[in-house]
Amino acid sequence: MSSYIDVAHPGRHAPYLDIPDDVIEYLHYLDFVKLRSPRTVNGYYLDLRGFFRYMMVQWGRADATAKPDTIDLTQISSRDIASIGKRDIFGYLDCARSASNGPKARARKLSALKGFFGYMCTQVNKITQDPTENVSLGAPKKTLPKYLTESESIELLNNIQSDFYERDFCIITLFLNCGMRLAELIGINLGDFRDETIRITGKGGKERLVYLNDACRQALDHYIKARGALSNLVDKDALFVSKRTGKRLTARRVEQIVARCLQSAGLSGRGFSPHKLRHTAATLMYQGGVDMLALKEILGHENVSTTQIYTHINQQQLRDAVQASPLARRQFVEPKSRGGEPDDAGNESTAEKAEKTGNEQSDATAHKEASS
């Protein structure tokens, strides 16, 4: 079964009929009781499906060389799930690491397992022991986000090559100025604009208003005029549409557009992506003096702790902070006396000579007294 989420209707997802009944019920629980977003539910589906494919091999009910899509999970029962222990969890996480899953990916997989087995143990009482209890991967190593500098961002905007220039220029401009996520950008409708703001639907269906600056408004004006000239519009409400089909752009298509623009600007091969353009927008705003709480609202972060990562990448601000010390402009002070140190040539200092003379005199006196 496909994990496809309808771009035109992001509130819908696949029915997920290729997994155990208990997992289907859990996904419904996330959807209707916990009110998780379709993308969150979809992520849990993918991770749990992968885990149970692994377990089918461990149980000897599927060949390790079989294609994943050919492994039938629908016959897995509650009794099978109850037989899963900590060793199975550890084995799966080790397998995930061997498959080149990074720390964040493994942490996400463990989170999906903890959620499911916690539900089975405490919500529906179908198992008596939670095999994920006290299982921890530790805190993943924090990495600084990649971003384009101001000059690189300008270079990107100056080198857009496209058969639908106005659309692609507008996409890059919104990414670089509004800091929106990829899913947020493709979900924008024409009705989401009002005065100088755009209504963005973020994670969990939460809405926020982001103000548009002059660059965004100008790019939108040019694009909407070009969009209006299309004769094959299908998704009439969608802001960004395909020139060929007239349908709303998919996330994959936008990724391709961004990759092509980066390549034409000589910025490809450095790990930049639509999400890195979001990091770029946030970084440039923070470097420009935007308040942390304001940046949190613009980016749609749940907690300001998520936004605080941008405080670590403002090197100019760190440089300015050191220079702001009241002692930063103190000049080198020449020593008043070099009394206690030998000179560079290794010669004795005045103090050393005086001490040596005193010692010699004391030794002479002591010798004289001993002789008498």
- 122 vs 26: CA distance, rounded Å: 12
Per the residue annotation, which of 181, 248, 279, 296 is the catalytic one? Answer: 181
Tally of helices (H runs) and strands (E runs) in the chain = 15, 3
The b-or-e profile of 158-177 (16+ CB within 10 A means b, else e) is eebebebebbbbbbbbbbbb
26 is catalytic: no
Per the residue annotation, which of 36, 227, 278, 279 is the catalytic one? Answer: 278
What SS3 class is residue 245? coil
275 is catalytic: yes
203 is catalytic: yes
The b-or-e profile of 321-331 (16+ CB within 10 A means b, else e) is eeeeeeeeeee
Per the residue annotation, which of 199, 203, 243, 260 is the catalytic one? Answer: 203
87 is catalytic: no
Residue 140 sits at φ, ψ, to 5 deg, of: -65, 145
| Cα 119 versus chain centre, distance | 28
Per the residue annotation, which of 26, 54, 223, 310 is the catalytic one? Answer: 310
Give the DSSP H/E element, type plus range, for residue 109. Answer: helix 103-118
Residue 150 sits at φ, ψ, to 5 deg, of: -60, -45
Active-site residues: which are they?
181, 203, 275, 278, 301, 310
